[in-house]
Structure 1
Amino acid sequence: MPVLKRVLLAIFAAIVTTAPAGAAQITDVTGRKVEIDLPAKRILLGEARQIHVAAALKGEHVFDTIVGWRDDLIKKDPDSYAGYLERFADIEKLPRFGYVPSGDFSLEAAITLKPDVLTLNLEAQEAAEESGFIEKAAAAGIAVVFLDFRVDPAKNSELSIAILGRLFGAEGQAKEFIGWRRLQIAVVTDRLAKASALPRPRVFIERAPGISGDVACCRTFGPANFGEMVELAGGHNIGSDVISTTFGDLNPEQIVVANPDHVIVTGSNWAAESDVNQFVAVGRGAGPAAARERLKGLMQRPAFENLDAVKAGRVHAVWHQFYGAPYEFVPIQQFAKWFHPDLFADIDPDKTFREFHEKFLPIAYRPGYFASLANGGE
């Protein structure tokens, strides 16, 4: 049996065991064992951005069993929401919910929808446990299952895909998704392994600059999430030298001293949330000229204007929402092209993501997920 197939079978065996009365027992990313009839007939997405996975599993039938979702997709990723709305006009009527840790999720409203299961992000675990939310939901017949595509993607992304595959009755598609994703990452990692003496450029990746006037600089990533993507792509994430958690902050002086070879900022269409509107709006269908102008503006901040990366034009933007969906293979391929253009001259991340849409997703592909400055910032 091929190694990849054995690994995928092990992942699915780890999350589900048969329980009495035809139910199944799922083990979520926290290690909790949750008993539920599978596939679930009525699903409430505690984060709407989980649609990026669910749609890859169920295609045109993805909304057949979704009875409601959090309001984050329309607020934080409206371009993707527009793509799904274009294909599925009725989702405008789907009930929307707030965020459990913020205290604005209405369990009473959720109960009226009679969901079998509520999927929550790992970040919501502490608030859900301390408030008794899980027990209250269970008393109403709602199973709570935690997923994670953000805090520790290396550990939890494949497991979370597998869990959603079980919930949606799409185990075969989940295995195919996981396998395809691994192969696309290996396009980069296998080649880097064969070029082991290759120098790794120092990279600073800034989290969501220009979204809030309260934070001028410099939110970043530690060794997980985008920080890990940088490493897998053959770079060295300078945030990992200081930060051991998934997210953290560097001060401007640390950026100046590190003088990175590349600067990458994450961006999205945050018009509904931003108080300053200086973010780089990359994402589905984004305009490259407008993105480059925003990127140039961010590099005029005192911590950045004299960096070697900025002077050389090695400044880039990446779609922020890659940080919460298991589509890491796309930025990993793009980062590799930025860091090692000769070694990866033949790979095309845009083509890869287009092929992913055509193979797995029910919505059409629109480019716009990256932007870069040329030499001198022009």
Structure 2
Amino acid sequence: MCSLAKAGLVAAGLIASTILTAYAEKVTIKDVAGREVEVDAPVDNIILGEGRQIYFLAVLDKDNPFKHVVGWRDDLPKADPETYDAYLAKYPDIATLPTFGGMKEGTFDIEQAVSLQPDVVLMNIDAKTATEEAGYIEKLDKVGIPLVYVDFREKPMENTEPSMRIMGELLGKEKVAAEFIKFRAGAIKRVTDVLEKAKPERPLVFMERAGGYSEDCCMSFGDENFGKMVELAGGINMAKAIIPGTFGTVNPEQIIASNPDQIIITGGSWENYVPGGNWVGVGYGADVEEAERKLENLTKRPAFTGVKAVEDKNVHAIWHQFYNNPYQFVAIQEIAKWLHPDLFEDLDPETTFKELHQRFLPLPYKPGFFVSLKD
């Protein structure tokens, strides 16, 4: 190659490098743990500390939500196989993405993470204690890799909006994040405004977490996550006074004594976790007849003996993963319709969910996220 051509290539490389450097600039992001973290944004490479973080990444990058993902935790195919299969069909390359174990399980491979040269590691706030105890933040700092906490599970009604803004800033998608936040807030107001005006009597609701996942009964929610969604939807969360944190357990005798008016059970297709389990397999494109059959079966457990909700068939199942993604507003709408059918006769959560898919998500909408014995 002649010296002139070589010089031209070097110059072109320098120009490209200068453009990239100018595009990505160092910003300080305050994560949901209150930490100030310096990141070169927009980022090119991300490690997802949980595979289900793709739920909100997809909102921000409808064309290709995996474009910046260089590694992710291995939970999505197990926790939500239908959604994983739908993404796999559209983006087959995700089958080759490096996978990690979880921070809390102590199976996260820090050396593997560093070798992938991410610009940022995204971690859920519930893994904070395990992350700090293992010294991962310091280890990543030594090689210039920042770690940022987000939250859609521990306090989702408080942290969903800031988490989406953080992700928008990391990806240079601030405008899309703002549009989604506005859409989400509007969908919630369609419930809360009606309740504020009508001030209806609030039914007592027992919210069971992952009913049928194990033989034990019964996991539930305190004053956050689905527990908070029940309150926003016009109900009284039975376990609020029993469970001090976000998650906990209610014994069968408490359920019988409380005699709830409504029972809502979260479910999903957990064959990879509990083969042949009694869980209710609601979710993306689920078989609703089979889900309804399994829901009916769960009402025969001793914990629900003689309970008003069972007698009146006010027993419902809802997609468990609403507890861990920014689409909770759809769940709030559906719960409101179950609790106050007359007030919300014209509200259609399915239409809301379809609009979410059409405007923000790369997958087409498929029903199957809710079933009810009342239907």
- Aligned-partner Cα distance in 2 for 1:173–1:124: 27
Q: What residue ranges of structure 2 are gaps of 5+ in the alignment? A: 1-23
* Deviation for aligned residue 1:276: 5.3
Note the C-alpha offset of 1:275: 5.3
Counterpart for residue 201 of structure 2: 199
Residue 256 (structure 2) pairs with residue 253 (structure 1): no
The SS at the match of 1:374 is coil
Paired residue for 2:262?
262
Which residue of the partner structure matches residue 15 of structure 1? none
Which digits, 9 at most, give the CA deviation of each residue in 1:239-270, with x for residues without a partner? 10212210111111100010000001000111
What residue in structure 2 maps to residue 18 of structure 1?
A: none
What is the one-letter code of the residue matched to 1:174? A
Partner of 1:3: none
Map 1:52-67; keep pairs closer than 5 Å.
52-67=55-70
Give the whole-Å Cα distance in 2 for the aligned partners of 1:239 and 1:276.
28
Bigger Rg over Cα: 2
Distance 2:82 2:252 in 1: 32
* Contact kept? 1:210, 1:276, Cα under 8 Å: no
Contact 1:53-1:161 within 8 A present in 2 as well: yes
Partner of 1:13: none
Deviation per CA, 1:280-316, whole angstroms, max 9, x where unpaired?
A: 0000000111001110111110111311110111000
CA distance in 1, matches of 2:358, 2:126: 31
Query: 1:84 — aligned with what?
Result: 87
Residue deviations 1:85-140 (CA, integer Å, cap 9, x gap): 12111111111111011110111111111101110000110011111111111212
Any conservation in 1 of the 2:256–2:305 contact (CA below 8 Å)?
no
Question: In the alignment, is the contact (CA less than 8 A) between 1:211 and 1:276 conserved in 2?
Answer: no
Give the Å deviation of 1:22.
3.5
- 1:29 maps to amino acid: V
Q: How does 1:123-138 map to 2 (within 5 A)?
A: 123-138=126-141
For 1:300, the equivalent position in structure 2 comes to 300
CA RMSD of aligned residues (A): 1.2
CA distance in 1, matches of 2:113, 2:176: 28
Residue number in structure 1 paired with 2:13: none
TM-score (norm 1): 0.91
Q: Distance in 2 between matches of 1:244 and 1:110?
A: 35
Aligned counterparts of 2:157 and 2:367: Cα–Cα separation in 1: 26
Alignment of 1:267-286 (within 5 A): 267-274=267-274, 277-286=277-286
Q: Distance in 1 between matches of 2:157 and 2:356?
A: 20
Q: Which residue of 1 aligns with 2:49?
A: 46
CA offsets per residue over residues 213-240 of structure 1, 9 Å max, x none? 3xx2111000100000000000100010
| Corresponding position of 2:12 | none
Q: What residue in structure 2 maps to residue 6 of structure 1? A: none
SS of the residue corresponding to residue 265 of structure 1 reads strand
The alignment status of 1:171 with 2:177, answered yes or no, reads no
